[in-house]
Amino acid sequence: MNKGGVIAGTIGLSLIVVAGMAWWVRGERDAEPAAAASRRGAERATGIAAAGQDSARRDDGAPAASEAPRFILGREVPSSPPEIGAEEAAARDNYVALQAAVVRDVGPQLAARRAALRQRCWTPELTAGLEATDFKVLAGFDADGKMLDVAVEVPASAPGAREVGQCLRAQSLELSASAPGQAVTVELPLALP
């Protein structure tokens, strides 16, 4: 196993998570003025003013108290994630492109094994009346495209699928990808039956 590749993959995935959090937080801030303007427009059009309280949050017109800083292990946690630079954004975009290429390689391989997996693991003894379920297959590949590890995630919405998930994990899911040049982890859907 190439430790450098695993570390690079972990860093790349971390950058994706940080960028997603920044996008989400920025979207929340941008949505608030638009929602306020929409409420004012509705009040003018109908002549009905808001009651001063929203079921989703308290809004009694009082200025919001500033949030106290949060601390984890004695260190202050910033209220919003830091902005990422051009180099980090390029690394994130490159990792996402590599993930897409690996998914294009291994997705059809998993789809070709779906019937055999269904036959082995979607049995009356294991399903016990379970309805169609969407599992997730998480697979890690090295820089040469060799699969390093694989995991099957059972959806929380289908707790009865645990036994089917255990059966899927016991199956040989040998997948391979074209050499991505660095370690990559991908997520693939697996719908059963």
More confident residue, 65 or 114: 114
Tally Cβ neighbours within 10 Å of residue 144. Answer: 14
CB 165 within 8 A of CB 154: yes
Q: Residue 33: its pLDDT value, please?
A: 60
CB 25 within 8 A of CB 80: yes
Across the range 2-21, mean pLDDT stands at: 72
Q: Residue 62: its pLDDT value, please?
A: 56
Cα gap 161→190, rounded to integer Å:
13
Residue reference for tokens 């693991």: 121
pTM as predicted: 0.56
Cα gap 9→188, rounded to integer Å:
17
In the chain, the percentage of residues whose pLDDT exceeds 70 is: 70
Summarize pLDDT for 130-169 with one digit per residue, the tens: 888 899 999 999 999 999 999 999 988 877 788 999 999 9
Q: Going by DSSP bridges, is the β-strand pair 133-141/75-77 parallel, antiparallel, or unpaired?
A: unpaired
